[in-house]
Homo-oligomer: A and B are copies of this chain.
Amino acid sequence: MVKFNARGLMPPVFTPLNDDYTVNYAAITPYATFLAKNGIKSVLVGGTTGEHMSLSVSERKKLIDKWVEVGKTHGFHIMVQVGGAPLADVLDLAKYCSKAGVDSLLTLPELYFKPQSVSDLVFYVELVAKAAPNLPVLYYHIPSMSKVEVNMPAFVKEASNIISNFKGIKFTSNDLSEAAQVLRVLKDDQEMFLGADSLLAPAALLGIKSAIGTTFNLFPTLAQDILNAVEKADVVQARALQEKLSLAVEAHTPEGPWVPIMKAGMEIVTGIKVGPPALPQLPISEEAKKRIETKLKALKIIN
């Protein structure tokens, strides 16, 4: 019986690149140390933030191996997102993960022959889950990118019935009403990870305590402080801290697409060089970085 025990805040890790777009594997060790020092206990490898949808299978496997190797030294739970590629490759990656020391899988839906119904989507996730039957498998709901708009409460109910190692979802949407409905149908050993950094506090009020958010790379303690404030019923503090995180995000958003601005922000805030985004995405300009830095200083988020 497959167990799934990752809970709480999980940063989706960036894939550090050199300026020539090769993967900077050496950067992963200090990056992981930074996260561990800031209280992080689990990471997602290969999410949107990690841009594995732009990489080859062999690069993805090397990154998985590196994160397993480095992550183990910190006791991290390693979740790997295997989707965002042709199904043959997704299944290959799932099988690889089942033997590579990975702790759990996450999968996007099919991106081309898109599922049109709950049962289409369950069938796809089932194929992935059967390729790694020893691992917990979660579904990555991110309709803004995948353009797959299946109703999540209905999907979770059906997937739980049919797939024995189905253990939850990443819910990347601002619709907390739907998220609350998912929460109600989850079983004990399943979990929903919110992917909406500006809604951590209100989600926590609804009982949603796990999240996967890019900003946990930049502000890992701030995100945790938000959850703690809600836990202690300090509503005023929760609101103030959420406002701080949300404003930090909004300092970035006018400057470009999500991964390019967040990779820039990571270097500005933490000094860790994660390099340019993987092609076909492009880095933001130096002027844009300056504007972000100026705003973050004005918000006293950095010095």
Show the binding face of A for B, using Cβ within 8 Å.
48, 51-57, 59, 84-89, 92, 108, 110-116, 120, 123-124, 127, 145-147, 174-178, 180-181, 196, 198-199, 201-203, 205-207, 230, 233-236, 238-239, 242-243, 246, 250, 257, 259, 278-282
Contacts of A230 in B (CB 8 A): 205, 235
Q: Which residues of B contact A178 (CB under 8 A)?
A: 174
A281 → B minimal CB distance (Å): 5
Query: Which residue of B has the minimal Cβ distance to A235?
Result: B233
- 8 closest Cβ pairs, A-B complex: A202-B202, A53-B112, A56-B88, A177-B198, A174-B175, A147-B147, A233-B235, A111-B111
| B-side contacts of A84, CB under 8 Å | 86, 112
Bound: A282/B87 CA distance, A: 13
Which B residues touch A145, using CB under 8 A?
112-114
Contacts of A243 in B (CB 8 A): 180
- Given contact pairs A56-B92, A84-B86, A280-B110, A177 touches B180 in the complex (Cβ within 8 A): no
Q: A278 vs B89: C-alpha distance in the bound complex, in angstroms?
A: 13
Task: Supply 11 A–B pairs (Cβ within 8 Å), ascending by A.
Answer: A54-B112, A56-B86, A88-B278, A111-B111, A112-B146, A113-B145, A177-B196, A177-B246, A180-B243, A181-B250, A201-B206
